[in-house]
Chain A
Amino acid sequence: MRRVGVFVCWCGSNIAGTVDIEQVKAAAAKMPNVAYVEDNKYTCSEPGQAAIQKAIKEQKLDRVVVAACSPRMHENTFRRTVGGAGLNPYLLEIANIREHCSWVHPDKVAGTRKAVDLVRRAVYKVAKNVPLQRASIDVTKRALIIGGGIAGIQAALDIADAGQPVVVVEKTPSIGGHMAQLDKTFPTLDCSACILTPKMVDAAQNQNITLMTWSEVEKVDGYIGNFTVTIRKKARHVDTTKCTGCGICWSKCPAKVSSEFDLGIGKRKAIYVPFPQAIPNKPVIDEKNCIFFKTGKCKACQMFCPTGSISFDQKDELVEEKFGAIIVATGYEQWDPSPYGEYGYGRYKDVITGLEFERLVNASGPTEGKIKRPSDGKLPKDVVIIQCVGSRDEAKGIPYCSKTCCMYSAKHAILLEEKIHAHSYVFYMDVRTPGKGYEEFYKRATEEHHATYIRGRVSRVYQKGDKLVCLGEDTLLGKKVEVEADLVILASAMVHQNGASKLAQTLGISYDQNEFYTEAHAKLRPVETNTAGIFLAGACQGPKDIPETVAQAGAAASKVISLLSKPKLETEPLVAQVNEAICSGCLWCKPICPYKAIDGKVVKERIAGGKTIERPVAAVNASLCQGCGACTVACRTGAMNVLGFTNEHILAEVDALCL
């Protein structure tokens, strides 16, 4: 006979509002093995937890059921509570009578009945629980950061500051990311490069930081504390140990191509650094456009290089590195607004995106900061800025708000007025300014810089002479509006990085329908992923501006620092276990395991007659296993069990609910 204590939580009125707590208590008291029942206004509060510990001691409880919110919310809290009272933390079950019951059932009678059922399920299950022990594993004291934008740089600096080595893998030739492309930053209008480049230099000079630019993550094996990552170092064709970044090579290179960094507004050479402040300030050869790689002739760069750094036969190199933790900071891409045919992006040269405007207004950009419009180089007098291009548009674009466009559009209006006295007309759906100093900044655009804000959408943009006529509607006045503009800026949405889903699959982390990576808990675990040891920073998780990105990068870094400072890691014991006695060794569980945690092994045993035989069975690597249970379903015999959720447990629950 067990002695189960049942603790029913009110959760204020969250549960007690639609579930009759007294009835649940009375029913629980009659369930088998239940020795003690108590209710609490907030079981998760300090007095609530103390009450559980007191009851465990005084009532000599050996199992605990907490009927409260989702186990994802407070299971760990209550495990600690139970553990604190001397019980094994896994002798606890949660009956979720909030998310699964009170929140979704307005009918108190039916809701109460369901709550009783859920408690009975937990009581039956907990009786079958056995003490489980956490194992400990070693930690590789080294972090990997994927992405060298501001998120990656900040996280790397923070981790390095704590004295832990960190490797930043960046797929482009330089760190810096999108922030390096921006001109000024809202809401203070300090120059992006002025605040970013010192951090880039710090990162390059920090002894604890290794930068691997022009590199990509190819494969990730292992688990928290012990990741083995294969990194592809793409052929740079430049020996970075010899190159001094003098720039002779790119000045001599005859192949001109459009620059990705300048979004096609400017040109670069086939051997290039993406921008003057690039780090490392060492060029790469773009094999696709290099004349030598195309025709076998040229080698101008090699001829002129004073240090002999250039080698055309360099090949991609695969290196395998070990890490204890990973931060994913792969950022975002600007959405291509071509689906909005009516705006004429791609058809009219003077219809540009917000990011393109950043290059146009940037002092180190292709126009040296002169806002010359692309078609004829004239300075625009009237500029139309269209907000929510792609954002909040399920039909043509993406369903979510890109969060940064209201602010950067206001910034563009301010810069246009400040620099060239151009007048901006901003078409908006809503202006959203929920940040410190943001509303004031928007006010400044309208009041000090006289931007005209028009609530409504532009229906069509067409060319008339050298003007772009924008037809739209002012929905506040209920009138049609027509603006003749010299330049149209589309505040295009922020979308996931190219290949975001593929990287997620490589890493084994989850992503949402917009291909942004999913955090473990929207509120309480916002920088963790569901895969232990992998963390998120910046816009790869969803649209974010710079302050938010930097804050999240710091948060992710602190998680990594605390992980890497532990001498050993404790593993979750809720993993799959093979009953070797009945396992046939068919290994159907092996290919279906998403975490590659299962392999075959051979066991020896004595059979009737005293003979020793060898036979194959499945073996689970408990450190890799995440306890998802796919293998238990694939196993016909039932030889595979997830501890804490064994076949016995499931049957007990079914019996509790159905019999």
Chain B
Amino acid sequence: MSATFTDHQAALRDEVKKLLTDGSIKGFIGYARGRDSYHPVPAIVTRPDQVDGLILDQFSIFGLTKYLLDYIFEDGKMGIVVKGCDALGLGRLINDHRVDRNKVHVVGLPCAGVLNGEKVAKLGLGKVQRVTDKGSAFLVEGDKGSKELPKTEYLWDKCLWCENHNPAGADTLLGSEVENVAMKPRDFSDITALEKMPSAERAAFWTRQFSRCIRCYACRNVCPACNCRECVFDIADPRWVGNTVKLSEQQMFHFTRAFHVAGRCVDCGECERVCPMEIPLMKLQRKLQKDVIELFGNPKPFVPSEVEVLGQFRVTEDPEEFM
């Protein structure tokens, strides 16, 4: 039984107030209350008097790291709160030289799993008063009722196989580290099932998915691996992919994005979560993760490392007999 996010809220506010007051950061990226208690939203504060608007609760799923790109050319540091999964995204941005680690103050949030606000909202518990970690479940007490929600049912999928509960390399850690074990092993059975489908059936499946795409680019905008200064889909000349809503263009967009992110995806699942058309984008990424694991023997392709699986030329280890 770990502390919940809410237990760290006061400590976070104190820390941010201190950092803003002594001038060590010029702004802080965190969460604020959204339309209800199940949907916190990203918030950026720059003055100590705004800090009390920052919240932390067990629904704080949103990965905030992409907002750092708005500040890379500013003087001074930005503060940010990151969970284990977000820390991988931050690692991606740092490895790609898009964010200078020295210009970020990282507040780490140890995480035993984030409740899926979409699911919990439907239970009609009303405004949430308190969330308590009961080990295998979260007790959510609302003003219209309370319920014990088994983690395996009410957490986001990625939390179940998460092996990065504690953000690595944080400047300040809220509370103490939590036990770092996956609730269940990483499961690729849905991907295997897709692979086994006859190709016509599989094509029909993906056509069904991609035909819904409205090219809003939310998936790209939230993705920490999609961090190019100028996205290839925004470049007018040469125009690789047209920007009309047309199946072939939509497919081209998604395939190209999948390949650009292959071997670089941190498995945060944000692309799929933010997709307004509910396209199962993580199935594409997880297929590529599975391939990287199987073909390159890298068991954790979603952890950014010094040497990237798909970003190297090591002729001495080339299994080909001749180049």
Interface residues of A (CB under 8 A from B): 501-502, 504-505, 510-513, 515, 518, 581-588, 591-594, 600, 607, 611, 613, 615-616, 630, 634, 636-639, 647-648, 651
Contact = CB atoms under 8 A, between A and B. Distances in A.
Contacts of B232: 636-638
A616 B230 contact: no
Contacts of B315: 505, 594
B171 interface: no
Interface residues of B, number: 26
Contacts of A636: 228, 232, 260
Given A582-B228, A637-B231, 4 more contacts: A505-B315, A584-B97, A607-B73, A651-B238
Interface stretch (B19-27, B152-160, B292-300, B305-313): B305-313
Given A511-B322, A513-B322, A594-B315, A638 B235 contact: yes
Nearest to B230: A582
Contacts of A630: 313
Interface in B260-317: 260, 307-308, 311-313, 315-316
Given A505-B316, A592-B311, A648-B238, A584 B73 contact: no
B240 interface: yes
Contact of A594 (B231, B238, B313): B313
Contacts of A581: 230
B227 interface: yes
B201 interface: no
B9 to A, nearest CB: 35
A616 B100 CA distance: 11
Contact of A613 (B73, B229, B260): B73
Given A513-B321, A513-B322, A651 B240 contact: yes
A55 B260 CA distance: 46
B73 A592 contact: no
A583 to B, nearest CB: 7
Nearest to B261: A636
Contacts of B323: 504, 510-511
A530 to B, nearest CB: 10
B98 A584 contact: yes
B322 A585 contact: no
Contacts of B72: 615
Given A637-B230, A648-B238, A585 B313 contact: no
Nearest to A637: B228
Given A510-B322, A613-B73, A636-B260, A584 B228 contact: yes
Contacts of B229: 582-585, 637
B195 interface: no
Given A510-B322, A638-B240, A588 B311 contact: yes
B96 interface: yes
Interface of B: 72-73, 96-98, 227-232, 235, 237-238, 240, 260, 307-308, 311-313, 315-316, 321-323
Residue of B97, B240, B321 with highest tally of chain A CB at under 10 A: B97
A591 B305 CA distance: 13
18 contacts: A504-B323, A511-B323, A582-B229, A584-B98, A584-B227, A586-B98, A586-B227, A591-B312, A592-B313, A594-B315, A600-B97, A611-B73, A634-B311, A638-B232, A639-B230, A647-B238, A648-B237, A651-B238
B235 A582 contact: yes
A591 B313 contact: yes
A478 B225 CA distance: 72
Q: Which 10 pairs across A and B sit closest by C-beta, in order of nearness?
A: A582-B230, A586-B96, A584-B229, A613-B73, A636-B260, A592-B313, A591-B312, A637-B228, A588-B311, A651-B238
Contacts of A515: 322
Contacts of B231: 637
A443 B27 CA distance: 94
B322 to A, nearest CB: 5
Interface on chain A toward B: helix, strand, loop, or mixed SS?
loop
Contact of A585 (B97, B240, B316): B97
Interface on chain B toward A: helix, strand, loop, or mixed SS?
loop
Nearest to B237: A648
A478 B146 CA distance: 98
A581 B322 CA distance: 37
A638 B240 CA distance: 10
A587 B98 CA distance: 10
Nearest to B260: A636
A616 B230 CA distance: 14
Given A636-B260, A637-B230, A584 B235 contact: no
A512 B323 CA distance: 8
A588 B92 CA distance: 12
Nearest to B264: A588
Contacts of A582: 228-230, 235
A617 to B, nearest CB: 9
A63 B143 CA distance: 78
Nearest to B306: A591
A540 B268 CA distance: 52
A588 B308 contact: yes
Contacts of B313: 591-594, 630
B228 A592 contact: no
B235 A637 contact: yes
B230 A591 contact: no
A594 B237 CA distance: 28
Nearest to A615: B73
Nearest to B226: A636
A624 to B, nearest CB: 14
Nearest to B73: A613
Contacts of B235: 582, 637-638
A501 B227 CA distance: 39
Contacts of B237: 648
A641 B148 CA distance: 57
Residue of B98, B227, B228 with highest tally of chain A CB at under 10 A: B228
A149 to B, nearest CB: 23
A36 B300 CA distance: 59
Contacts of A588: 96, 308, 311
Given A636-B232, A651-B240, A584 B96 contact: yes
Contacts of B316: 502, 505
Contacts of B321: 513
A137 B237 CA distance: 33
B230 A592 contact: no
Contacts of A591: 307-308, 311-313
Contacts of A648: 237-238
A368 B210 CA distance: 83
A586 to B, nearest CB: 4
A498 to B, nearest CB: 16
Contacts of A611: 73
A298 B279 CA distance: 79
Nearest to B225: A636
A591 B260 CA distance: 17
Contacts of B98: 584-586
Residue of A505, A588, A651 with highest tally of chain B CB at under 10 A: A588
A594 B312 CA distance: 9
Nearest to A588: B311
A645 to B, nearest CB: 13
B54 to A, nearest CB: 28
Contacts of A607: 73
A639 B232 CA distance: 9
Residue of B72, B235, B237, B260 with highest tally of chain A CB at under 10 A: B235
A543 B311 CA distance: 38
Residue of A587, A594, A636, A651 with highest tally of chain B CB at under 10 A: A636
Contacts of B240: 638, 647, 651
Nearest to A648: B238
A41 B123 CA distance: 83
Nearest to A639: B230
Contacts of B312: 591-592
Nearest to A594: B313
A458 to B, nearest CB: 31
A352 to B, nearest CB: 31
Contacts of A583: 229
A633 to B, nearest CB: 10
